[in-house]
Amino acid sequence: MAQESGFVNYIPQNFNKEESLNRSEAFFNFLNQRRSIRAFSNQPVAKEVISNIIKTASTAPSGAHKQPWTFCAVSTPKIKSEIRKAAEKEEYENYHGRMSDDWLKDLEKFDTNHIKPFIEIAPWLIIVFKQSYGIKYGEKDLHYYVNESVGLACGVLLTAIHNAGLVALTHTPGPLNFLTEILNRPKNEKPFLLIPVGYPEKDVKVPNLKRKELSEVAVWFE
Ligand code: IYR
């Protein structure tokens, strides 16, 4: 890691008012097109693109700048198959007893079930682990606001995926402990999200969802 000491100048972006307005509007319009996708094409994605996306996610703010995350990028078919098998086992239990009737009703509009072919079809799986603590010089290093930090990094990750013209699903076939075992992660890491990344299947359809109006999500104190 780079040496960390003292302070350096921050170079602001320096957009004028008009540029700020235009950029904020254009970025909203761009991100408003992001959708969670459950049907992928097997079209490959270059490792360099995935590297850039992970580097971008890792720019997220984190408690005491500990960056308490690990991104496992999997393209190996055998590991993807193992993950699919274990995920479907958990999802079978989720759909057949672990999720409440209300929960299942809330999911009807997505037309999902316990079968998850996209885990094998998508060219990459990014499995995000949160580090409850770090290891520095062989000693336990405290991490802070781990869930908030890793959640932020995942938001940036999804934004970077969309920016690269790719699609993803924020997938939680929980409990996720099987990922620790399959990917042989150390004790300080806990699985957080499983994110298949790639191109959508041709002519893919998505549920006709509406986003909340600004007035439903914002309260102003001017
Ligand atoms: N993990 C299951 C169920 C599921 C839960 C929620 I909350 C969703 O928004 C979507 C699905 C699955 O992935 O099918």
Residue pLDDT, tens place only, 52-82: 999 999 999 999 999 999 999 999 999 999 9
The residue to mutate among 107, 109, 125, having the most atoms of ligand 1 within 8 angstroms of its beta carbon, is: 107
Residue 206 counted as domain residue: no
Cβ neighbors of 212 (< 8 A, separation 6 or more) are: none
State the Cα–Cα distance between residues 166 and 164, nearest whole angstrom: 5
The token pair that represents 147 in the structure block:
């869930």
Whichever domain contains 77, its CATH number is 3.40.109.10
5: pLDDT strictly greater than 90? no
Domain count, the chain: 1
Is 213 domain-assigned? Answer: no
DSSP state letters, 89-117: HHHHHIIIIIS-HHHHHHHGGGT--S--T
In a domain, 78, yes or no: yes
Q: What is the mean pLDDT of residues 156-181?
A: 97
In a domain, residue 172? The reply is: yes
User: Ligand 1 pocket: which residues have CB below 6 Å?
Assistant: 91, 94, 107, 110, 112, 171-173
| pLDDT at residue 119, rounded to an integer | 98
Q: What is the percent of the chain with per-residue pLDDT over 70, rounded to a whole number? A: 99
Q: Among 172, 192, 194, which residue has the most ligand 1 atoms within 8 Å of its CB, making it the best to mutate?
A: 172
Q: Is residue 216 part of a domain?
A: no
Q: What is the C-alpha separation between 83 and 168, in angstroms, rounded?
A: 17
Instruction: State the pTM of this model.
Output: 0.97
Confidence of residue 215 (pLDDT cuts 50, 70, 90): very high
Print the domain residue range for 70: 35-199
CA of 64 to the centre of ligand 1 (A): 32
